[in-house]
Amino acid sequence: MALVDVTLPDIGDYKNVDVIEILVKPGDKISKEQALLALETDKATMEIPSSHAGIVKELLIKAGDKVSQGSLILRLELAENIAVDTTATIAPVAGTETRETIQNPEKAVLPATPPSLSANSNQSVPSTAPSDSYVHAGPAVRQFARELEIDLSKITGTGLKGRISREDLAAFVKNQLNHSGTSTAFALPADPVVDFADFGTVRIEKLPRIKKISGAALSRNAIRIPHITLFDEADITEMENFRNNKKTEAEKKGLKLTPVSFLVKAVAKALKNHPIVNASLSHDGESLIFKEYIHVGVAVDTPNGLMVPVIRNADQKGLYDIAADLINFSKRAREGKLKPDEMKGGCFTISSLGAIGTTGFTPIVNMPEAGILGVSKSELKPKWNGSTFLPRLMLPLSLSLDHRVVDGADGARFLACLVQNLSDLRELIL
């Protein structure tokens, strides 16, 4: 079978780009277009897809290396059907007209497919995003086009060799707006360009990778999702008494039973009773997808930014199992050791700032989920029981919803159920 050395294709104007992740390992059977590695420039993150199917024999680079066009990536044993085709052509490099032919496949060198860009393969790039792999455009333009879900092949580039510039993309968008009957009277103006050094001394730090990725997803979610946020308080006096009674028992198991474990359990129960909040809008906006599983994401604050590991089948887990998952996930999130799969598949997210403070906040829904719960700091408050005021520990909750999926009344019913689950622990075991 033919062995080939796969090299880095044309990646635009970039040289000495950082390899941030190798996505395959020796022995892996890979398909055509499967991502081989991820690169990061100062403007974008890009994945380099394989131009051929085969088996990875040897990796010739590692994360942390710097690469340019032509750098060796890996040695590949071509899949059988390609190996026998000794005149297989190499995919054209974006922006060039050249086509090469493998005359001697035993010693061939192939460039991988030119990259298609993504800010976050889990969340930012829709599965039906238009394919723009073979148009001639730089990483930043490709990324911007994907965020706007614009098929770059529909744009005629005015740059060298038909390269599509940011201006070409902007002109295309403007043209579409002008012809779609959409008013441009309050179109978003360009971001302000400010030289902060004009006003005093400044210090500049690179934005961490996670913040770049989550920032793009948050911007999309904040703009594209019509949010509604509902507020309520849960009386967690009994829950806290129970939790404090169980502290020593939990410690003996090597666990810490924090309020968030109870919240995961109570949310899972409420999702089960209110499937609409566990649903997602289909990508084409034509259907609702009701999930028969309940996976709950928990936002974890890490030195590099926010990460959301997912507790699977939370409705089927006991409090100690959930506490164990929480400890494991938050520790590994802070060490940067979470696996991408552990952050996928969430149905609903909990974001707790309760250990830090705040009386309330409006969390942003994590697309394609339909809801997110914001948890603030519990406070002892006087509550009237009909004859007297009693000191009760009250937990402020804010529930943001995608209003396309969940109506306000359904959201209020879900929140009332959640409050009930937290206020009366017996609800959790029913």
Residue from 50, 113, 143, 352 binding ligand CAO (CB under 6 A): 352
CB of 375 to ligand CAO, least distance (A): 5
The answer to the question of residue 353 lying near ligand CAO (CB under 6 A) is yes
CA separation for the pair 402, 399 (Å, rounded): 10
403 flagged as catalytic: yes
Integer Cα distance of 153 and 278 in angstroms: 36
| From 42, 85, 151, 407, active-site residue | 407
Asked if 98 and 76 touch (Cβ cutoff 8 Å), the reply is no
- Taking the CB of residue 365, how many other CB atoms lie within 10 A of it? 26
Judged by CB under 6 A, the residue of 63, 84, 177, 355 near ligand CAO is 355
The only residue of 351, 398, 421, 423 in contact with ligand CAO, by rule CB under 6 A: 351
d(CA 232, CA 262) in angstroms, rounded, equals 17
417 an active-site residue?
no
Nearer to ligand CAO, 298 or 347 (CB): 298
Q: Which stretch binds ligand CAO (CB under 6 A): 123-131, 175-183, 347-355, 405-413?
A: 347-355
For residues 279 and 5, give the distance between their C-alpha atoms in angstroms, rounded to a whole number.
46
What region does 27 belong to: left with phi over 0, alpha with psi -120 to 50, or beta? left
Minimum CB separation of residue 298 from ligand CAO in Å reads: 5
Name the one residue in this structure whose structure tokens are 């959930």: 322
20 scored as a contact of ligand CAO (CB under 6 A): no
| Residue 13 token pair | 């104007």
Hey, which residues between 302 and 341 contact ligand CAO (CB under 6 A)? 306, 326, 330
Q: Among this protein's residues, is 407 annotated catalytic? A: yes
CA distance 356 to 374: 13
Which one from 132, 136, 347, 417 is the annotated catalytic residue?
A: 347
- 52 within 8 A of 32, measured Cβ to Cβ: yes
Task: Give the integer Cα–Cα distance in Å for 30 and 328.
Answer: 31
- Of the pair 116, 237, the CB lying nearest ligand CAO is at 237
Residue closer to ligand CAO (CB basis): 356 or 430: 356
Q: Smaller CB distance to ligand CAO: residue 71 or 258?
A: 258
DSSP strand pairing (389-402 vs 227-235) = antiparallel
CB of 258 to ligand CAO, least distance (A): 3
Q: Provide the token pair at 222.
A: 């904040």
Please state the separation of Cα 57 from the chain's center in Å.
31
State which residue, 67 or 375, has the beta carbon closest to ligand CAO.
Answer: 375
Catalytic site residue from 403, 410, 417, 424: 403
CB of 224 to ligand CAO, least distance (A): 18
| Site size for ligand CAO (CB under 6 A) | 20
Taking CB under 6 A as the criterion, the residue among 44, 370, 395, 415 binding ligand CAO is 395
Cross-strand bridge partners of residue 67: 17
Range 207-266, binding ligand CAO (CB under 6 A):
258-260
Which two tokens mark 252? 């003996």
- Residue 421: φ, ψ to 5°: -60, -35
x/- contact string, 400-419, with ligand CAO (CB under 6 A)?
A: --------------------
One-letter identity of residue 212: K
Interaction between residue 299 and ligand CAO (CB under 6 A): yes
Binding window for ligand CAO (CB under 6 A); candidates: 58-66, 70-78, 199-207, 298-306:
298-306
| Strand partners for 300 | 307
Report helix, strand and coil shares of the chain as percent, to nearest 5.
30, 25, 45
Which residue's C-beta sits nearest to ligand CAO? 354
Binding site for ligand CAO (CB under 6 A): 258-260, 298-301, 306, 326, 330, 351-355, 363, 375, 377-378, 395
Active-site residue list: 347, 403, 407
